[in-house]
Every structure is written in C-alpha cells, then in structure tokens.
Amino acid sequence: MGVSASPAPTLRSGPDAMMTVKLSCPLGHKCEETRDDVTYRCAWFTQLRGQNPQSGEEIDERACAMSWMPILMIENAKTTRGTNAAVDSFRNAMERSNQFTAQLLLGKSQ
C-alpha cells in the first residue's frame, strides 16, 4: 500500500523470477526525513487505522495520503451501498404507510 517504512515488496512474474520494487514519491520528495535533529514530514504522510474493506484485516500504518485513496474510495462505495439500501427500505415502508393512510381517508369520506 503506497509509500511506507516497511521493506520494499517483491513481485513475482514467473515461477522463479523475483524483482525488488522500491516505491518513490511521484513528486520527488521523501515522506519523512531527519536532518540536524529535526524531522521533516510531508503533510500528506498520514496514519490510517481501521479495517481493510477488501481483506477485513486491521490497518494501522503510515503512508502517503495519495496511496490511501483506492482503499478509501472502496470504503466509501461500500458505505454508499449500505446507505442506498437503508433509503430504499425506508421508502418502501413510507409507501406502505401512505397507501394505508389513503385507504383510511377514502373509507371515511364515503
């Protein structure tokens, strides 16, 4: 997941082929750097805690905010689907209630 302090991931493209991949900032900067007893940290270097929406495993790590975007977009889509289901359920309940009220009113007026 993006740029982090963890060791560089390895990719396998064949049965025995291995390649080391080192991630770097597309803006040409470092997320965190210490010089002269001062730590310089990018404003986008953020900590994310929670549950990965794809795997369900717990997340508690720091990385560039841009690298968190895919996970956050997946979580947002998941939440939106849940909200849509709740709104549909509420609409159906209101429709039944309105039909019942209309039948009561029509029955009283006749």
Q: For residue 71, is it within any domain?
A: yes
Supply the pTM of this predicted model: 0.57
Query: At a CB cut-off of 8 Å and minimum separation 6, what does 51 contact?
Result: 57, 58, 59
Query: How far is 7 from 16, CA to CA, in rounded Å?
Result: 20
With the C-alpha atoms ordered 102, 104, 108, 110, is the resulting torsion angle positive or negative?
positive
Q: For residue 80, is it within any domain?
A: yes
Q: For residue 51, is it within any domain?
A: yes
Q: How far is CA 95 from CA 1, 17, 73, 100, 106, in A?
A: 45, 61, 32, 9, 16
Looking at residue 5, its amino acid is A
Q: For residue 23, is it within any domain?
A: no
Whether 100 and 36 have beta carbons less than 8 Å apart is answered as: no
Q: For residue 95, is it within any domain?
A: yes
pLDDT of residue 24: 74
Q: How many domains would you assign to the chain? A: 1
Q: What pLDDT, in 10s, does the model give residues 51-106?
A: 888 888 998 999 889 988 998 999 899 899 999 999 999 999 999 999 999 988 88
pLDDT of residue 11: 52
Domain of 88? 31-101
Q: Residue 33: is its pLDDT beyond 90? A: no
Whether 22 and 9 have beta carbons less than 8 Å apart is answered as: no
Q: For residue 17, is it within any domain?
A: no
Q: For residue 106, is it within any domain?
A: no
Q: For residue 39, is it within any domain?
A: yes
